[in-house]
Amino acid sequence: MAVLVTGGAGFIGSHTVVQLLEHGEEIVILDNFSNSSPDVLDKIRQISGKDFKFYEGDMRDKELLKRLFEENKIEAVIHFAGLKAVGESVEKPLDYYDNNINGTLCVLEAMKASGCKKMIFSSSATVYGNDNKVPFTEDMKTSATNPYGWTKVFIEHILEGVCTSDKEFSAVLLRYFNPIGAHKSGLIGEKPNGIPNNLMPYIVKVANGEYDHLNVFGDDYDTPDGTGVRDYIHVVDLADGHIAALEYARKNNGVQTVNLGTGRGTSVLELVRAFEKASGKKVPYVIAPRRAGDIAECYADVSKAKEILGWQAKYDVDDMCKDNARWALKL
């Protein structure tokens, strides 16, 4: 029996496939390379010394999905495929709803037709919206402030509905906090297209001289140094969280929602300093106005992940910066 990884050529998917292969799993990847490139597949083989099956195509292609499920015995789906840029989702809401929600429905229909009843879904801390107090716990009310966030909220509800209707179905909704870092080999990592929106990829481009400074979005938040606080998590820790979730889904039916974070908050300036220390490069910055839609603090209560999945993050921000610098600056 194989595990289907949708979006397996992407940032988090590629790291998860490496960990799954090392865990002895048989893997099938589906990706349309809309935000990744084929060379990642060779890098995964190089790191793991193992092979997997690959289907190039869109998860909304029903014929392709039908063939994929006929040609392979899929036990579980780890579902990463989706569009993820918040700003772009505001400009192109229909593309986001179609790709993320309709795409998920197509995967779920193909699973239903073949009797596959386990899904691990990539949700996000973004579903905690703007009104909850940190640390965020899984039972808090969810909401969103942009179409990307709504796709995560809706897909969570869709999977709850599937589990209500089919008592043998198992869905683990993993709410990721802020994944950064890269594989220790330096062979895979995050490769954002265009101008990065997120902090770590932007820091990298300042450190390598592509941009002359970082804009720090606000230094007047109610946080220890006034800059925004986030729960950064090493992408390899996050990948291991999926193995724990898969093992959980193999033993339990129904829906479970679990935060994947470290439980620790790091400010923008703390991350800048940690990156400078890890890379030996300067990251000049200027204080800029707050970014619309940002919250002061976002970090997880991680007790449920430990209790239910027996998983907790191992790496700290210094490890994340070291591995990120090795990958992105080829140090």
Smallest separation, CB 174 to ligand NAD (Å): 8
Residue of this chain nearest to ligand UD1 (CB atom): 228
DSSP of 213-260: -EEEE-S-SSSTTSS-EE-EEEHHHHHHHHHHHHHHHHH--EEEEEEE
| Binding piece for ligand NAD, criterion CB under 6 A, among 2-10, 46-54, 222-230, 299-307 | 2-10
Report whether 258 contacts 172 (CB < 8 A): yes
What region does 232 belong to: left with phi over 0, alpha with psi -120 to 50, or beta? beta
13 binds ligand NAD (CB under 6 A): yes
Amino acid in the structure at residue 120: I
How many residues of this chain bind ligand NAD (CB under 6 A)?
27
Amino acid in the structure at residue 284: P
127 binds ligand NAD (CB under 6 A): no
- Which listed option, ligand NAD, ligand UD1, none, makes contact with residue 80 (CB within 5 to 8 Å by class)? ligand NAD
Among 50, 60, 67, 205, binds ligand NAD (CB under 6 A): 60
Binding track over 33-52 against ligand NAD, x by CB under 6 A: xxxx----------------
Say how far apart CA 18 and CA 243 lie, in whole Å.
11
Q: At what angle do helices 62-71 and 103-114 cross, to 10 degrees?
A: 40
Q: Which residues contact 155 (CB under 8 A, 6 or more apart)?
A: 100, 101, 104, 121, 123
Nearer to ligand UD1 among residue 32 and residue 178 (C-beta): 178
Nearest to 327 by CA among 201, 240, 215: 201
Hey, how many other C-beta atoms are within 10 angstroms of the C-beta on 225? 12
Nearer to ligand NAD among residue 34 and residue 48 (C-beta): 34
- Which listed option, ligand UD1, ligand NAD, none, makes contact with residue 197 (CB within 5 to 8 Å by class)? ligand UD1
Residues that bind ligand UD1 (CB under 6 A): 86, 124-126, 149, 178, 197-199, 202, 214-217, 228, 230, 268, 291, 293-294, 298
- Which listed option, ligand UD1, ligand NAD, none, makes contact with residue 7 (CB within 5 to 8 Å by class)? ligand NAD
Nearer to ligand NAD among residue 36 and residue 227 (C-beta): 36
Q: Which residues are catalytic?
A: 148
Report whether 267 contacts 227 (CB < 8 A): yes
Distances (CA, A) of 167 to 73, 122, 160, 173: 21, 21, 11, 16
176 binds ligand NAD (CB under 6 A): yes
201 binds ligand NAD (CB under 6 A): no
Among 29, 77, 82, 173, binds ligand NAD (CB under 6 A): 82
Tokens representing 225 are 């140094």
Binding residues (CB under 6 A) for ligand NAD: these are 7, 9-13, 30-36, 58-60, 80-84, 99, 103, 122, 124, 176, 179
